[in-house]
Structure 1
Amino acid sequence: MVTIKQSLQRSVKKKTKTLVLQNAPQKKAVCLKIYTMNPKKPNSADRKVAKVKLSTGKVIIGYIPGEGHSLQQHSIVLVEGGRVKDLPGIKFRFIKGVFDFV
């Protein structure tokens, strides 16, 4: 026997995450701003990140891996998923050696 509360719980749909990359492995993006962020508590350094506008029109923040980079405003990068553990809110990385990112 199903109670009223149980039947209401079944009919409620769960929210889904917005798929920024739209089920694609990578997306092309244009850099808007390059800056540094500080990581969470036990770590201390300046991590390089960039705010980019994807080809779909959405704006995200991505991590710049490695030591040294050649990114400037209006540089074109390739974005992939993959969070950076010690930077809260950063869920994307850039792929080195593709487009303007060397």
Structure 2
Amino acid sequence: MFSALRALSRPSPSTWAPLLTRTLANQQAPRRALLPTPTVAAAFQQRCAFHATPSAWRTMNQSMRNKRKPKKSLESKSPLLENCPQRKGVVTRLIIAKPKKPNSAKRKVARVKLTTGKSLMAYIQGEGHNLQEHSVVLVRGGRTKDLPGVGYKLVRGALDFAGVVGRATSRSKYGVKKPKK
């Protein structure tokens, strides 16, 4: 078995000699070209020439030990959005949650039912909000680290959800228009 695998992993002159004679027999009279076309033997010699980088061939031991594993596809961090950047939904409940251990606060969270029919918990960013039950909101991905189970955020300034009042910095994140001078 090992000899058969070794023969497959490293081509020897006996395996490429018939191929070389076939290709040489099929060649017609030499054509005039700007660049000479390499033969199979020349191509093989170039590939087997010494290089500082290791060759693509694997040794027997490497083949036996390191079986090639298929690449894992990355799972989405916001699967309920179903590969969409945002989803529309309706607020079904407003909740005040407490964050995980080292932090202490009253975080505002909304239970939202998406247009797909699935429900999720979304974090309400910024100071103050105008949301109530049945408000139509836009949901995006992005978890809140200190709130377990909250993996989505609501987009401020979109649909029924107003921007933060009196916000001067980071306005684009909180849905605030540029103040008039």
- Of the three residues 104, 113, 122, the one matched with 1:62 is 122
Higher-Rg member (1/2): 2
Provide the secondary structure at the position in 2 that maps to 1:90: coil
**Aligned-residue CA RMSD in angstroms?**
2.0
Give the structure 2 partner of residue 89 of structure 1.
149
Give the structure 2 partner of residue 27 of structure 1.
87
User: Quick one: which amino acid aligns to residue 112 of structure 2?
Assistant: V
In 1: Cα distance, 2:140 partner to 2:121 partner: 11
1:2-34 C-alpha deviation (Å, 9 max, x unpaired)? xxxxxxxx8xxxxx6682111000000000000
Matched, 1:45 2:93: no
After TM superposition, what 4+ stretches of structure 1 lie above 4 angstroms from structure 2?
A: none
Matched, 1:74 2:134: yes
| Count of aligned residue pairs for this structure pair | 92
Provide the secondary structure at the position in 1 that maps to 2:89: strand
Give the structure 1 partner of residue 18 of structure 2.
none
Structure with a larger share of its residues in strand = 1
The structure whose RCO (Cα within 8 Å, separation 6+) is larger is 1
Unaligned runs of 5+ in 2: 2-68, 70-74, 163-181
TM-score normalised over the length of structure 2: 0.47
User: Quick one: which amino acid aligns to residue 28 of structure 1?
Assistant: K
In 2: Cα distance, 1:97 partner to 1:90 partner: 20
Between the two proteins, what is the percent identity of the paired residues?
Answer: 54
